[in-house]
Homo-oligomer: A and B are copies of this chain.
Amino acid sequence: MLRNKNNGELRISNVGEEVTLVGWVSKVRNLGALVFMDLRDRYGITQIYIEPSLFEKVELKSEYCVQVQGKVRERQDKNPNIATGDIEVVASSIKVFSKSMLPPFIVASQTDALEDTRLKTRYLDLRRPCLQENLIKRAQIVASAHRYFDSLGFLEVETPTLIRSTPEGARDYLVPSRIFPGQFYALPQSPQIFKQLLMIGGMDRYYQIARCYRDEDLRADRQPEFTQIDAEMSFIEREDVLNVIEGLLSNIFKDVLNVTLPKFERLSYHDAINIYGSDKPDLRFDLKLVDLTSILSQGSFEAFKNKPIKGLVVPGVGPSTSRKVMDKDNDLAKKFKIHGVSFFKCENGVLTSSLNKFYSEEVLNELKEKTNMKDNDLLIVGADEDNERLCIALGAIRSKYGKELGLTDPNVFKPLFVIDWPLFEKVDDHYESLSNPFTRPRDEDLINLDKDPTKVLSYAYDTVMNGYELSSGSLRIYDSKVQEKVFELLGLSQEDIKERFGFFVDALKYGTPPHGGFAIGLERLTMIICKTDNIKDVVAFPKNLQAYDTMCQAPSYVPSENTDILGLEIKGKEE
């Protein structure tokens, strides 16, 4: 070892010890008669005191990688902001392992360097303590997951990543085959089919920290490759899987943040939509939607006739809600294709609104009572033929006010399960799966598969935290006839089914156990735990929004013999 202590561990109790430290020169303060250097490694920062006579003999610049030998002593002016702030090390010798060119930005948590600059020299960016902290937390999350799954008898099994392309949903990344020119593997969007095959194969309990791929246009929360904490269990019921998810996440939050998560709440999909206007409601704040259909359909306001009417009370913001704010809320609502929203304020005990003229005093009193409005409260009301669309529009406004009112404390974590999802949604004139086509319909709803598929609820469940979807999962279909029926309802012809999922439907016919599982988005979980909205902050070597690696310069052109051998020609390429 080239050190015997790290830069995060020396305390007042170490005073007098001879130590050898290593790390990077973070800062040099040359005060003439005194020289101080901050030495940085993954574990922290230690102040080094250097005699001018020693300082003369050694070149020390930012990001030089060095070894320092010396004695620990108590600091005169202690620094309570760092763990080693009580001490400093008086250097007796300093060795430079390797020099550094001038870095393109200062290596510190606070930076105003452009993201592109930082990505180009990501290895320097990674020295910033905040990024190190994020990657350490990510590793701690995974380590906690390993321990948890191991304790429950789950086996980590690796599933293949050169698989068959089964076009559905997002676009596959393709990998050309050399042995079968003109044919392609796909990189997996998830290990879904393979984990189900493992259950059919009797592996009983599986998990994997699984790399997944989607060739989609990127956003701040997406990368072309990402990771799922992926698990599947046999011979279980929904409760058993939910217990595993709750246990897993509770362990992770305890291990990584020392936070005890509250008992996970539960909402049916129907209630999540109707109460919070979202299938991933943020439970850190209340602001529930109120059904006002029976009350507000009583007046003469045409736009409120014969449709569901929902309201949202935001306490205390009445006075600050100008016409301009209302317009913005209205615009937000319209993005969800509802007609718009109207407003009631409560002033001196009475409701005021441009809609007042359509309603009797009695109805307005009824409204005030139902919504429990106090002076200064604001009521936002919408109506639409489509109840779900209406709720979601109001849910978006709810989120906006939650944030604006400071109700979204990132240090508060409110987990819940959203259960009883519809199996299908009707899009135009066809059905689509709300989760995936392997999701098992509830036993009591099987009868509706033929009669009214939109009525069929499923054993799907999402884990939601603070407005984000953390995991999705379901019990799976284990009857090949039900599976084929679902494929049919999704509009797949017998030929499609055979071509895309033939081997899987066959597999279901060999004694498939009841099974189910879940997948947690590791980046999303890490983002919540690290309190960042940028996925690049939790990925060691991320790509930019063009899925381009600016450090390694990938993708790139390759020699034509490498594509020739794959039987491929690049269109429009001059030879």
- Residue positions of A touching B, CB distance < 8 A: 1-3, 22-25, 40-43, 63-65, 67, 97-101, 103, 121-127, 132, 135-136, 138-139, 142-143, 146, 150, 155-165, 167, 171-187, 193-194, 197-198, 200-204, 211, 213, 215, 224-225, 227, 234-237, 240, 478-479, 503, 506-514, 539-541, 543, 546-549, 551-559, 562-563, 566-573
Contacts of A158 in B (CB 8 A): 211, 227, 539-540
Contact between chains at A156 and B143 (CB < 8 Å): yes
Contacts of A215 in B (CB 8 A): 178
Contact between chains at A101 and B175 (CB < 8 Å): no
Contacts of A139 in B (CB 8 A): 155-157
Given contacts A155-B139, A174-B175, A235-B1, contact A64 B511 (CB under 8 A): yes
Name the contact of A543 in the complex, choosing from B156, B162, B172 (C-beta under 8 A). Answer: B162
Contact between chains at A478 and B97 (CB < 8 Å): yes
Contact between chains at A236 and B179 (CB < 8 Å): no
Give the number of copies in the complex: 2
Min distance, Cβ A203 to any Cβ of chain B, angstroms: 6
Min distance, Cβ A418 to any Cβ of chain B, angstroms: 23
Could you list some 30 contacts between A and B, CB below 8 A? A42-B203, A63-B510, A63-B511, A64-B511, A97-B511, A97-B512, A98-B513, A121-B506, A123-B200, A123-B510, A127-B202, A132-B203, A136-B155, A138-B157, A143-B146, A146-B150, A157-B540, A158-B540, A160-B541, A162-B225, A163-B554, A164-B554, A165-B554, A165-B556, A171-B178, A179-B548, A180-B548, A183-B557, A184-B558, A503-B552
Contact between chains at B510 and A124 (CB < 8 Å): yes
Cα–Cα distance between A67 and B237 once the two chains are bound (Å) = 14
Contacts of A563 in B (CB 8 A): 174, 184
Contacts of A63 in B (CB 8 A): 510-511
Given contacts A126-B202, A201-B127, A555-B185, contact A98 B176 (CB under 8 A): no
Min distance, Cβ A544 to any Cβ of chain B, angstroms: 10
Contacts of A175 in B (CB 8 A): 173-175, 187, 555
Cα–Cα distance between A203 and B225 once the two chains are bound (Å) = 21
Contacts of A24 in B (CB 8 A): 202, 511
Contact between chains at B2 and A237 (CB < 8 Å): yes
Closest to A512 in B: B98
Q: Which 6 pairs from chain A and chain B are nearest by CB?
A: A126-B201, A100-B511, A164-B554, A183-B555, A177-B555, A139-B155
Contact between chains at A236 and B2 (CB < 8 Å): yes
